[in-house]
Structure 1
Amino acid sequence: MDHVIETISIRNPGLAWDIAADIHFPPSFDKGNMYPAIISAHPIGSCKEQTSGNVYGAALAREGFVVIAFDASYQGASGGEPRLIEDPGQRVEDFRQVVDYLVTLPYVDADRIGVLGVCGGGGYSISAAKSERRIKAVASITGVNFGRMSREGFGGYDPVGTLEAIAQQRTAEACGGKARVDDVLPPSVGAAEQAGIADIDVLEATDYYKTPRGQAPHGLTSFLFSRRAAAVDWDAFHLAEVLLTQPLLVVIGDKPGGFGAYRDGQEIYGRAASKHKQLLVLPNTSHYELYDQPKATAKALETIVPFFQKHLVA
């Protein structure tokens, strides 16, 4: 261990529950000094102990940043009932609660707070920054617009039909019926291949989440079907041409998959109002290689670290 990690709970009057988070401190941390801080947001179905914390959070802490990796409400070690909800509005509100916490810490410079998000966390980071002006710089790592994904791949390209099914299921549960929980990934890569699934994102996601490579106790890939309507009705990039003005770094791999990070990255780079924006397309790199594979993450960090140093330190 080359840096210290402290696990904390954030209690804010704006929520009825705590947000669980890990703070990654620089190796030579001195609580008497002031540090730039970075909020690190996990992917959809992930948790703070996975890529947002143990890869990007740890790496940025080693470079002198205080990094806080948090679990989304209703997920991981954070509170909120019922469980297994992926609510974009609440995910964005979580960022505000974490910023509220950071600005109270005597060793955090409230004017030097950035955000980094991976996969769905990248889309949520972008969405949060549009209206949370305390965020001064944004890095999206293989970021996905979960609203678009919910209307397309996760909704069978039939958003209205999906909403009708959600409505029926919610009514059934309100009347005492059994909750429907969907695991969005196959149980194994072998099972996926036997089912004829060839999409690189599904196969690599299964390899990451369903094997020791990326498994974590709170890293679940299941969602409560009756609470998915909010995602179908949401767009991470809404008004980005007007409101997303902070410095922006978009990192994607050039191997497109069904989850759409390559497409979403190109779109937000073009749409963002940011005067200082950068698109990094890593060759021969897939979505899930940017989660934890040393070669891909090292190449990403070669740009991420100078980006945050320029906009939060210089």
Structure 2
Amino acid sequence: MAGGTSVTKEPASDLFAARFNDAGFAVLAFDHRRFGESGGAPRQVVRVNEQVADWHAAIEYAATLPDVDPDRISVWGFSLAGGHIFHVAADQPRLACAIAQTPLVDGRAVAPHALRAMTPLAALRLFGRGVADALGGLAGRPPLLVPTAGARGAVASLTTPDAMDGDQALDPDRRHANWEQTVAARIALQIGRYRPGRHASRDTVPAAGRRL
């Protein structure tokens, strides 16, 4: 199990993992590299291929754990990680089930909606910061970070009307003070091109999903 974009396991997958565990499932919750308790630098940088590789590594590790049946492993992710699930399920036909909650399936379809939720100035500033971040990364400079979510008019990765709902739902009491809710701005240049749904066949693996 893993969360999307900068959502780490403590405020997200751990909440669901506890319920699964109470129902008798063994759960391996992890953070993608460069986020949360996982290693990797520079921090807060999303690299899709690396994150998909992290899923494969987690599955391989889970299969080695005591009392785990390699033929009964399932994967669960939401948002950006939900999109990764399609890649993973297509490449791992041995999986018992793949669960994608509100997944990012087609960035090209989502991008116009996300842009409409931004003010023109904020959109220009976000993409300008994304270009500067990408170029800076090539030069070895630290990432230029933006909030993962923000109100309309903010320079943030997502400013749709429900953008702030995730934070309020996952950490309403502000218990996770170490949760870094930022992401490298270069993500603005990537999401519109990410279309994991194209790579998955419906009959690859039993799947459960939900779109809201």
TM range (shorter): 0.7 to 0.9
Q: Does 1:251 align with 2:210?
A: yes
Using the TM superposition, give the Cα deviation of residue 127 of structure 1 relative to its aligned residue in structure 2, in angstroms.
2.2
TM-score (norm 2): 0.77
Q: For residues 206 and 41 of structure 1, do their structure 2 counterparts lie closer, same or farther at Cα, with a shift above 3 Å needed?
A: closer
Aligned residue type for 2:62: L
Q: For residues 68 and 183 of structure 1, do their structure 2 counterparts lie closer, same or farther at Cα, with a shift above 3 Å needed?
A: same
Matches within 5 A, 1:54-69: 54=15, 56-69=16-29
Q: For residues 200 and 155 of structure 1, do their structure 2 counterparts lie closer, same or farther at Cα, with a shift above 3 Å needed?
A: closer
Q: For residues 59 and 179 of structure 1, do their structure 2 counterparts lie closer, same or farther at Cα, with a shift above 3 Å needed?
A: closer
Using the TM superposition, give the Cα deviation of residue 168 of structure 1 relative to its aligned residue in structure 2, in angstroms.
4.3
Q: Which residue of 2 aligns with 1:78?
A: 38
Q: For residues 146 and 209 of structure 1, do their structure 2 counterparts lie closer, same or farther at Cα, with a shift above 3 Å needed?
A: farther
How far apart in 2 are the matches of 1:222 and 1:103? 32
Q: Does 1:105 align with 2:65?
A: yes
Using the TM superposition, give the Cα deviation of residue 193 of structure 1 relative to its aligned residue in structure 2, in angstroms.
8.1
How far apart in 1 are the matches of 2:196 and 2:112? 14
Q: Which residue of 2 aligns with 1:139?
A: 99
What count of residue pairs does the alignment treat as equivalent?
Answer: 203
CA contact (8 A) 1:182 1:224 kept: yes
Using the TM superposition, give the Cα deviation of residue 147 of structure 1 relative to its aligned residue in structure 2, in angstroms.
3.5
Q: Deviations over 1:183-219 (max 9, x none)?
A: 1323xxxxx4898xx9541231343467525x52453
Q: For residues 93 and 180 of structure 1, do their structure 2 counterparts lie closer, same or farther at Cα, with a shift above 3 Å needed?
A: same
Q: Deviations over 1:246-299 (max 9, x none)?
A: 1111124xxxxxxxxx3xxxxxxxxxxxxxxxxxxxxxxxxxxxxxxxxxxxxx
Q: Which has the higher contact order (CA 8 A, sep 6+)?
A: 2
How far apart in 1 are the matches of 2:194 and 2:9? 24
Q: Which SS does the other structure have where 2:7 is aligned?
A: coil
Aligned residue type for 2:206: P
CA contact (8 A) 1:130 1:244 kept: no
Q: Which residue of 1 aligns with 2:6?
A: 45
Q: For residues 193 and 231 of structure 1, do their structure 2 counterparts lie closer, same or farther at Cα, with a shift above 3 Å needed?
A: closer
Q: Which residue of 1 aligns with 2:88?
A: 128
Q: Which SS does the other structure have where 2:83 is aligned?
A: helix
Tell me, which stretches of 5 or more residues in structure 2 are unaligned? none
How far apart in 1 are the matches of 2:160 and 2:127? 25
Q: Which residue of 2 aligns with 1:222?
A: 182
Aligned residue type for 1:115: V
> Percent identity, aligned pairs only?
22
> Which is greater in Rg?
1
Aligned residue type for 2:35: Q
Q: Which SS does the other structure have where 2:29 is aligned?
A: strand
- Aligned-residue Cα RMSD (Å) equals 3.5
Higher strand content, 1 or 2: 1
